Amino acid sequence: MPASAGGCAQDRGTGRLTAGVDTFEPVPGGHPEAAGRAAAVLLALDAVADAVLVIEMPSRERIYANTAALASLGLTHDQLRLPALAVDLPEGERERLRRVADEVALGGQAEAVVHTEMTLDGGRRVPLEVRVGFHPDGSGRAGHGHVIMIARDVSDRQAAEQRRRVSEESFRIAFDRAPIAKAVVRREDSGEHRVVRANQALADLLSVEIAEIVGRPLADRLCARDDLPDLLLALDPPHGQDFAQGELCLARADGGRVWVESRANRVDFPDLEGHTVLLHLVDVTERRRAERREVQRARMNAVLARITTEVLAGRPEREIYRLIVDGAAEVFQAADVALAFPGAGGVIEPAAWVGPVAAAVVEGVLPRSPGFLDQLRRHRVLAYPNPPSTLNPLVAQHFGPCAALRFAAGPTDGDLGVVALARRPGESLFTEAELELLVEFAAHLALAVDLGRARAAQARLSLLEDRQRIARDLHDVVLQDVISVGMQLVAGLDGARDDRPPPQAVIGQLNRAVRNLRATLTGLNPGAPDTMRALAREIVADAERALGFHPVLRLDGPVDTVPREVAHHAIAVLREAVSNVVRHAGAGWIEVTIRWDVDRLSLRVDDDGRGIGPNPGAGRGLVNMTHRARTLGGTLEVGDREPSGTRVAWTVPLPA
């Protein structure tokens, strides 16, 4: 029975198959069921959008072409009677198709795919993807049946692939040659972010080869390995943002640090699986350094102003030196600072220090390193990315980047002072700008030291002048009165004399001598350090001027009898505690209590301010107060008061 072009049907009476305008006789001896299956297959193939050719094997006669084949491949029904595979293919391609068809028909392979070309009417060559399959006819004879070839025009696919290749190549060139550092980061199943691509600009920024970046975790390049940037976390599921930006600190191969402004975009790369992010990294290190220099300079100016004020106020040298090391640690973010001056025999002796390692060296727990000081004598400024070899290894293991400076601490250059600073391992290096700032700091430091020594010399001169004045007064006034009294007493003992003085006159002369002696001693300025009681009152008076109200001061017991070292630490703690209240507490009431209990000295500062909270930060003031307590074998307790405010309790034992 006839059928429309591309259609397929079966005559139930004869078992004859019709496809398109062609009629196919059933295989002799074949089963009607097999013919029915073949008809169903042909009907299905006719609905396929790709070109389908059916070839009878082993005759290789083309017996069927679907509508798509007739339309897109330019075949006619007459061509169906031509020898199989006689389409316009290059000779070698036709032979390759024949071999593939034979292998599939004989069971050499279940299915095959052949990529080839053919020429259509008009000379246009079409790239084809030909899938070759085989359906046996049911007779059981090997190689008998139908080879089905499904040919697909892949021109659009190839064009798309070409566009993709061009796009990828353009991206690769732009990525590799970009003047801005770039990296592609992939999130692994473990949650780790690994660099899978990097350009030369990023390698130059980090002073490494590209191969040293690619394939390694991004955390290897962060200044703080455990601090995964928020910008990457924002792009990870479940957040799923497409864009994020922020700042990263990257570690260079030479130990330096680079600050970059980072823009991160989620990008799907065809050749990369998983969650990928494209990073654009702009170097902003100079900007960060400039900002840091401004902050450090402001801190330095504040520290120098505080030191100068204390020097002019006549503070003892030891307290001034302590202010210097505390200020240096604050300005340069150093964990350990030491200040030293030449001592007996030219040996440099520490004058003040801060930090656990510096304290351990001074106290003899860790050995000193005279070689480092000798080296510093030959160089004005020294800076090291790692502890210098001249340091004792037991000390060096606690230090990271170090810096040291010598400065003139007297009228001659041979009278040198030394300030040394150290940061912890892994912290940032001392930059050139910081070293320049350190030189400037030391210049002001030398002025402060000279000024302090000048004031001390002035105090000694004043003491000598007072002593000379007292000597003159004793000689010219008091001693003369005493001599006069003595003469009158002698005259009174001579009973024969009529002009002996009355007893009242002698007593009056003696009282006058006592008054003159008392007046002379009252004018004495010995230059000795103030008593603990006087210093405490002075601190409270200073606080009153800043707060506008009078703090309560309670002194219990003979506090002026405590040892000088204990009094020194106690006054320093009191000044720090009261200063914290003035600056931070917002208090309307302060009470200071100093109590002497024979075997211990307790210092307590209470206020009704905003309180310190359950987790007070480890500020340098609290660290110093704690260190002073531990140095004397005591304790420091800081906590909130009820209903509001803070209590600082500092207690140390007194020697028997």
Which residues partner with 251 through β-bridges?
Answer: 257
Tens digit of each residue's pLDDT (9 = 90 or more) over 300-321: 888 888 888 887 777 787 888 8
pLDDT at 603: 94
**Burial environment of residue 327 by CB neighbours within 10 A (0 to 12, 13 to 18, 19 or more):** buried
Residue 646 to residue 621: CA distance in whole angstroms: 15
Whether 326 and 442 map to the same domain: the answer is: yes
* pLDDT surpassing 60 at residue 596: yes
Q: Is 48 helix (H, G, I), strand (E, B) or coil?
A: coil
Whether 294 and 398 map to the same domain: the answer is: yes
pLDDT at 590: 92
Give the count of alpha carbons within 13 A of 340, CB side only: 26
- Residue 520 in any domain: the answer is no
- Residue 25 in any domain: the answer is yes
Write the CB contacts of 218 (distance below 8 Å, at least 6 apart in sequence).
Answer: 183, 185, 193, 194, 195, 232
High-pLDDT (> 70) share of the chain, % = 71
User: Residue 12's pLDDT band (boundaries 50, 70, 90)?
Assistant: very low
Placement of tokens 């210098």 in the chain: 388
Whether 76 and 14 map to the same domain: the answer is: yes
Higher pLDDT, 393 or 475: 393
Whether the bond between 238 and the residue before it is cis, its omega within 30 degrees of 0, is yes
Whether 269 and 322 map to the same domain: the answer is: no
Contact 421, 334 (CB under 8 A): yes
Q: Is 230 helix (H, G, I), strand (E, B) or coil?
A: helix
Domain holding 74, by residue range, is 8-153
Higher pLDDT, 507 or 451: 451
Residue 64, phi then psi, degrees to nearest 5: -155, 140
Give the count of alpha carbons within 13 A of 460, CB side only: 6
Placement of tokens 């059981």 in the chain: 140
- Residue 178 in any domain: the answer is yes
Contact 534, 572 (CB under 8 A): no
pLDDT at 273: 76
pLDDT at 592: 93
| Integer angstrom CA distances of residue 70 from 49, 74, 78, 148, 464 | 11, 6, 11, 15, 126
Higher pLDDT, 487 or 44: 44
Whether the bond between 217 and the residue before it is cis, its omega within 30 degrees of 0, is no
Give kind and range of the element (H or E) at residue 194.
Answer: strand 193-198
**Burial environment of residue 281 by CB neighbours within 10 A (0 to 12, 13 to 18, 19 or more):** buried
| Over residues 540-559, mean pLDDT | 83
* pLDDT surpassing 60 at residue 402: yes
Higher pLDDT, 418 or 346: 418
* pLDDT surpassing 80 at residue 430: yes
Q: Residue 149: which of 77, 78, 82, 87 has the closest Cα?
A: 87
Residue 327 to residue 310: CA distance in whole angstroms: 13
Residue 3, phi then psi, degrees to nearest 5: -140, 160
Whether 245 and 379 map to the same domain: the answer is: no
Whether 368 and 256 map to the same domain: the answer is: no
Whether 275 and 329 map to the same domain: the answer is: no
pLDDT at 433: 84
* pLDDT surpassing 70 at residue 80: no
At position 484, the amino acid (one-letter code) is S
Placement of tokens 């040394």 in the chain: 420
Structure-token pair, residue 133: 């399959």
| Over residues 208-237, mean pLDDT | 77
- Residue 466 in any domain: the answer is no
| Over residues 238-261, mean pLDDT | 80
At position 22, the amino acid (one-letter code) is D
Q: Strand ranges (DSSP E) for 385-467? A: 402-408, 416-422
Give the count of alpha carbons within 13 A of 391, CB side only: 23
Would you give the distance in Å from CA 391 to the centre of its chain? 27
Tens digit of each residue's pLDDT (9 = 90 or more) over 139-193: 778 888 888 888 888 888 888 888 877 777 777 787 888 888 988 888 888 878 8
Contact 31, 25 (CB under 8 A): no
pLDDT at 649: 94
Whether 312 and 259 map to the same domain: the answer is: no
- Residue 512 in any domain: the answer is no
Mean pLDDT of the chain: 76
User: Residue 35's pLDDT band (boundaries 50, 70, 90)?
Assistant: low
* pLDDT surpassing 90 at residue 651: yes
Q: Domain holding 166: CATH number? A: 3.30.450.20
Q: Domain holding 420: CATH number? A: 3.30.450.40
Whether 312 and 247 map to the same domain: the answer is: no
Q: Domain holding 573: CATH number? A: 3.30.565.10
**Burial environment of residue 263 by CB neighbours within 10 A (0 to 12, 13 to 18, 19 or more):** middle
Q: Is 243 helix (H, G, I), strand (E, B) or coil?
A: strand
Instruction: Using DSSP bridges, classify how beta strands 22-24 and 17-19 pair: parallel, antiparallel or unpaired.
Output: antiparallel
Residue 475 to residue 91: CA distance in whole angstroms: 140
pLDDT at 175: 81
pLDDT at 82: 42
Residue 24 to residue 2: CA distance in whole angstroms: 11
pLDDT at 457: 75
- Residue 168 in any domain: the answer is yes
Tens digit of each residue's pLDDT (9 = 90 or more) over 255-286: 778 888 888 888 877 677 778 888 889 998 88
Q: Residue 281: which of 181, 353, 412, 177 has the closest Cα?
A: 181
- Residue 494 in any domain: the answer is no
pLDDT at 139: 79
Domain boundary among 127, 153, 179: 153
Higher pLDDT, 31 or 403: 403
Domain boundary among 153, 179, 195: 153
Structure-token pair, residue 550: 């009078």
Q: Note if the pTM is more than 0.85.
A: no
Q: Is 431 helix (H, G, I), strand (E, B) or coil?
A: coil
| Over residues 581-594, mean pLDDT | 87
Residue 437 to residue 432: CA distance in whole angstroms: 9
* pLDDT surpassing 50 at residue 372: yes
Which residues partner with 113 through β-bridges?
Answer: 131
Looking at residue 434, the DSSP 8-state letter turns out to be H
| Range with the poorest average pLDDT among 171-185, 215-229, 386-400, 463-477 | 463-477
Q: Is 593 helix (H, G, I), strand (E, B) or coil?
A: strand
Let me know the angle formed at the C-alpha of 566 by 594 and 467, rounded to the nearest 5 degrees.
100
Residue 98 to residue 85: CA distance in whole angstroms: 8
Top mean-pLDDT range of 236-240, 363-367, 598-602: 598-602
* pLDDT surpassing 50 at residue 11: no
* pLDDT surpassing 90 at residue 635: yes
Domain boundary among 132, 153, 174: 153
pLDDT at 265: 84
Residue 522 to residue 518: CA distance in whole angstroms: 6
Q: Which residues of 392-419 are buried (b: 16+ CB within 10 A; e: fewer)?
A: beebbebbbbbbbbbbbbeeeeeebbbb
Tens digit of each residue's pLDDT (9 = 90 or more) over 474-491: 655 565 566 656 666 665
Whether 143 and 166 map to the same domain: the answer is: no
Tens digit of each residue's pLDDT (9 = 90 or more) over 495-548: 555 555 566 666 665 666 666 665 555 544 444 446 788 888 888 887 887 777
| Range with the poorest average pLDDT among 27-31, 248-252, 602-606 | 27-31
Whether 312 and 224 map to the same domain: the answer is: no
| Over residues 313-341, mean pLDDT | 86
Instruction: Using DSSP bridges, classify how beta strands 112-119 and 125-136 pair: parallel, antiparallel or unpaired.
Output: antiparallel
Number of helical (H) and strand (E) elements in the chain, helices listed first: 17, 23
Q: Which residues of 196-222 are buried (b: 16+ CB within 10 A; e: fewer)?
A: bbbbbbbbebbebebeebbeeebeebb
pLDDT at 383: 74
- Residue 450 in any domain: the answer is yes
Whether 142 and 257 map to the same domain: the answer is: no
Domain count, the chain: 4
Tens digit of each residue's pLDDT (9 = 90 or more) over 90-137: 667 777 888 888 888 888 677 888 888 776 656 677 788 888 888 887
Residue 224, phi then psi, degrees to nearest 5: -115, 105
* pLDDT surpassing 90 at residue 650: yes
